[in-house]
Amino acid sequence: MKRSQVNEKLRRLAQQEKEAIRPDERHRAMTAALAQNAYKAAAPRRNKMRFPAFVLRQVRYTGKQIWIWQILLLLLIVSAFEQTGDRGSLTDPYFLMFLYRRIPVLLCGAGILSAWSCVPFFDRAVRWKMAEVEAAGCQPSRLKAARLLIAGSSALIMELAVAVAAGTLWQINLEALAAWLFLPFLLAWNCMLFLLDRTKGRFTPWCSASLAAGFAVFAFVWRYVSRAAGSPGDFLAFADGGWLLCGAALLLWAFQIWKQGRKEMERWSYV
């Protein structure tokens, strides 16, 4: 092939790539019109609506979907717990050996899944290419705080329901729940807040995959690290310090929320 033909082919490929990534002018004009309409519609209530009323308004758009999704995940977790509980009784040594090996992993997985249940709804506007419209209708920092509050409170309720189910089926005490259920839940939330801050509000599939892989390793390692010197008959034997680690994770969680709120206050004007 001659040099001129190679240059012509490269030029044609470059033009095709440029046309492929060129934004659609029609979509851009439609987005601008929708953003303008959203700004005009939200103008009367922008300075009058308080934050609690704004959170209740967001329940109409996001809360219902989050709650339905979390109820389905909760039913899945509880059904898995019930299937495990039907394998035997607490007087069966083989069943105690099974619980000794599997309870930490099951509880860690339930805690991480409860925290992760909020992830699909964090970047809904970006995924549907409606972020500009939402930003025109309300303050992005307010919207982010409302979604985190709705998702976090419902995830906490889901976590408490999982704890009640585990305590009912396996007679697990609070110390074991702190070490194997609440600690992974708080650590997962800390990781999600960190990734949300680093990815500019977008929780990509790569972030979800990295989080899942990291906590899978954590669950299997923590199963051995948290064990105290005990026999398989004492399937709730665990090391001390579970509540202390939960307190440290909770303080880190509060610090990250304060840090993100401070960044948003510096970025957006409320005047």
**Structure confidence by residue, pLDDT tens digits, 80-129:** 888 776 555 556 666 666 666 677 778 888 888 888 887 777 666 555 55
Structural domain includes residue 78: yes
> What's the domain count of the chain?
1
pLDDT at 71 over 60: yes
Tokens of 88: 């035997």
Segment among 1-5, 33-37, 56-60, 239-243 with least mean pLDDT: 33-37
Structural domain includes residue 12: no
Structural domain includes residue 43: no
Q: Measuring CA to CA, how many Å separate 228 from each of 154, 170, 231, 236?
A: 33, 19, 9, 9
Structural domain includes residue 15: no
Residue 202 near residue 131 (C-beta atoms within 8 A): no
Q: What confidence tens digit (pLDDT) does each residue in 137-159 have? A: 566 667 777 778 888 888 889 99
For residue 44, count other CB atoms closer than 10 A to its CB.
9
Structural domain includes residue 259: yes
Q: What confidence tens digit (pLDDT) does each residue in 170-221 have? A: 777 787 788 888 888 888 888 888 877 776 555 555 666 666 677 767 766 7
pLDDT score at 232: 45
Structural domain includes residue 144: yes
pTM of whole model > 0.75?
A: no
| Whole-angstrom distance, CA of residue 152 vs CA of residue 28 | 34
Q: What confidence tens digit (pLDDT) does each residue in 213-247 have? A: 777 677 667 666 666 544 444 445 455 567 788 88
Structural domain includes residue 10: no
Structural domain includes residue 19: no
Residue showing tokens 């990250």? 256
Q: To which H or E segment does residue 145 belong?
A: helix 140-170
pLDDT score at 161: 92
Q: Calculate ∠ Cα 24-30-36, nearest 5°.
A: 135
Structural domain of 175: 49-267
